[in-house]
């Protein structure tokens, strides 16, 4: 018996090898068997799962680079968004200006200067539009270059205009750059030079700054150009400022009359007696 | 090297996983080095042919399970362990570390080439010429595995082989 088994003990390595090979060959032979197919499928699924997880960890390891890439992308996108937002804002602003301009233009009345009385102390313009055309007293007269004056008297077909270069004419003006405010008047003399009063010494007004009408005026719409600062001379409390007027009065022939800008409540508040004061 | 079989089985599992999910994805000229071959050759040279063969069978089961070609992997790895076993150095021998290393390298090249030849003969997914697969790819893979084994020897195996 021992003799019978001795070759098995002697060649057990080869027998084991044959056994392993037989098992392997059986697996090859029955590799399409249902159970083996399921086993293979399970192995493949597990393999795919592990690979997926490993790739996820790889992604995590590369997260710093990815983060930097995303930051750069974000910066580019943010810049584009800001550009687009500013473009949209500008467009909206332009539309608003256009809309407001259209309304104003719609209310404007074109007129022709039919007569003028220019002298050293008194200057008057006569335009060919009157009450029939919707002109009222205190309407603003202007040209695209700037402010011309205000309507002081209206007849059926004509209106009289007090120009800026009139000693009684006064309008509140503001500098577009420094925001310095003052009161424009004309003291006679040269027709293209006017004066601005009540600009305090503390203001930062500089030469060549453009002055425009303010919202404080009871008749003129704000933003109408008036002129540019040509001289600034400090006095005790205020500057003495000369401006060169935007409008060339010597060649004025066509003008526009702006709609009347009168806020009764504002005028009432500015008057001596306000409604509240009248209450018992 | 101590014959701590459970530890070696766990180590084999880890090495097989590293091969399947790591090294097999690093391909040079279409082939990748095989860390399992190094392990099997080492086991066969240091412990014996039966151990090499059994570890080969187990390694083939693991790698085959994940690659979807169970039988072929089992066969190739078993043959690999068996062939590497012919380079076994008995524990009582007075072989130097250098001799052990040389034997291991020989086992890696021989067993690796034969295992690759079996795999190439049994599975040809790209439809390449069997001769090309056996000679070129098998030889290249054995060469890359040998280079990996030399690197591994420099880094980790010196102490194990000199014991």
**pLDDT tens digit sequence for A210-229:** 898 887 777 888 888 899 99
Residue A104 has pLDDT above 70, yes or no: no
ipTM, two decimals: 0.85
Of B60, B74, B78, the CB nearest to A17: B78
Interchain pair A51, B21: CB under 8 A = yes
Give yes or no for a contact between A258 and A104, defined as CB atoms under 8 angstroms apart. Answer: yes
C-alpha to C-alpha distance for A105 and A59, rounded to whole angstroms: 63
Q: Cβ atoms within 10 A of the Cβ of A112, count?
A: 11
What's CA A90's distance to the chain center, in Å?
A: 5
Residues in CB range of A59: below 8 A, 6 or more apart: A66
What are the sequence ranges of the domains in chain A?
18-99, 109-261
Q: Residue range A130-153: average pLDDT? A: 87
Of A20, A36, A43, the CB nearest to B53: A20
C-alpha to C-alpha distance for A233 and B147, rounded to whole angstroms: 93
Confidence of residue B157 (pLDDT cuts 50, 70, 90): low
**pLDDT tens digit sequence for A15-40:** 889 999 999 999 888 877 888 888 87
* CATH code for the part of the protein at A109-261: 2.40.10.340
Counting residues of chain B whose pLDDT is more than 70, the rounded percentage is: 91
With tokens 């766990």, the residue in question is B10
**DSSP codes of every residue in A58-84:** HHHHTHHHHHHHHHHHHHHHHHHHHHH
Confidence of residue A280 (pLDDT cuts 50, 70, 90): very low
Query: What is the number of alpha carbons within 13 Å of residue B6 lying toward its C-beta?
Result: 0
Q: Residue range A159-181: average pLDDT? A: 87
Q: Which residue has the higher pLDDT, B116 or B80?
A: B80
Give yes or no for a contact between A183 and A172, defined as CB atoms under 8 angstroms apart. Answer: yes
pLDDT at A272: 59
pLDDT at B163: 56
Residue A171 has pLDDT above 50, yes or no: yes
Closest CA to A219 of A181, A166, A155, A162: A162
Interchain pair B53, A13: CB under 8 A = yes
Give the closest-approach CA distance of A61 to chain B in angstroms.
16
Of B67, B68, B75, the CB nearest to A24: B75
Residue of chain A with shortest Cα separation from B86: A13
Q: Residue range A106-115: average pLDDT? A: 79
Counting residues of chain A whose pLDDT is more than 90, the rounded percentage is: 10
Q: Which residues of B touch A12 (CB under 8 A)?
A: 50
**pLDDT tens digit sequence for B16-62:** 988 888 888 777 777 788 899 999 998 998 888 999 999 999 999 99
Interchain pair A47, B54: CB under 8 A = no
End-to-end CA distance of chain A: 140
pLDDT at A277: 47
pLDDT at A102: 47
B150 touches chain A (CB under 8 A): no
Residue A105 has pLDDT above 60, yes or no: no
Residues 7-26 of A with CB under 8 A from B: 12-13, 16-17, 20-21, 23-26
Query: What is the number of alpha carbons within 13 Å of residue A184 lying toward its C-beta?
Result: 34
């Amino acid at each position: 018996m021992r003799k019978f088994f001795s070759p098995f003990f002697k060649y057990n390595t080869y027998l084991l090898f044959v056994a392993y090979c037989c098992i392997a060959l059986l697996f090859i032979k029955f590799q399409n068997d249902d159970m083996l197919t399921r086993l293979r499928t399970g192995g493949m699924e597990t393999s795919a799962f592990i690979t997926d997880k490993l790739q996820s960890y790889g992604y995590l390891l590369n997260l710093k680079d990815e983060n930097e890439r995303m930051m750069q992308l974000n910066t580019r996108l943010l810049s584009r968004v800001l550009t687009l937002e500013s473009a949209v804002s500008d467009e909206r602003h332009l539309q608003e200006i256009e809309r407001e301009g259209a309304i104003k233009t719609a209310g404007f009345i074109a007129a022709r200067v039919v007569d003028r009385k220019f002298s050293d102390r008194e200057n008057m313009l006569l335009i060919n539009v009157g009450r029939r055309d919707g002109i009222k007293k205190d309407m603003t007269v202007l040209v695209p270059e700037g402010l011309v004056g205000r309507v002081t008297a209206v007849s059926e077909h004509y209106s009289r205009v007090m120009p800026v270069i009139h000693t009684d004419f006064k309008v509140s003006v503001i500098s577009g750059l420094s925001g310095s405010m003052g009161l424009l008047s004309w003291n006679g003399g040269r027709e293209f030079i006017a004066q601005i009063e009540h600009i305090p010494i503390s203001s930062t007004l500089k030469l060549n700054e453009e002055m425009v009408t303010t919202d404080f005026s009871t008749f003129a719409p704000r933003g109408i150009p008036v002129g540019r600062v040509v001289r600034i001379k400090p006095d005790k409390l205020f500057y003495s400022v000369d401006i060169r007027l935007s409008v060339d009065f010597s060649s004025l022939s066509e003008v526009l009359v702006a709609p009347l800008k009168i806020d009764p409540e504002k005028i009432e508040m500015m008057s001596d007696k306000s409604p509240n004061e009248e209450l018992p | 090297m101590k014959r701590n079989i459970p530890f070696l089985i766990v180590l084999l599992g880890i090495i097989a996983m590293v091969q399947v999910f790591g090294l097999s994805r690093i391909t040079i000229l279409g082939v990748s080095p095989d860390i399992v071959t190094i392990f099997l050759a080492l086991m066969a040279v240091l412990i014996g042919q039966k151990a090499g063969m059994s570890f080969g069978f187990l390694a083939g089961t693991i790698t085959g399970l994940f690659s979807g070609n169970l039988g072929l992997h089992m066969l190739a790895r078993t043959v690999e362990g068996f062939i590497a076993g012919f380079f076994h150095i008995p524990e009582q021998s007075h072989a130097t570390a250098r001799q052990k290393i040389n034997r291991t390298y020989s086992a890696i090249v021989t067993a690796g080439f034969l295992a690759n030849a079996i795999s190439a003969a049994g599975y040809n997914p790209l439809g390449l010429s069997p001769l090309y697969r056996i000679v070129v790819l098998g030889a290249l893979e054995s060469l890359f595995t040998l280079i990996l084994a030399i690197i591994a020897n420099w880094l980790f195996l010196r102490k194990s082989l000199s014991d």
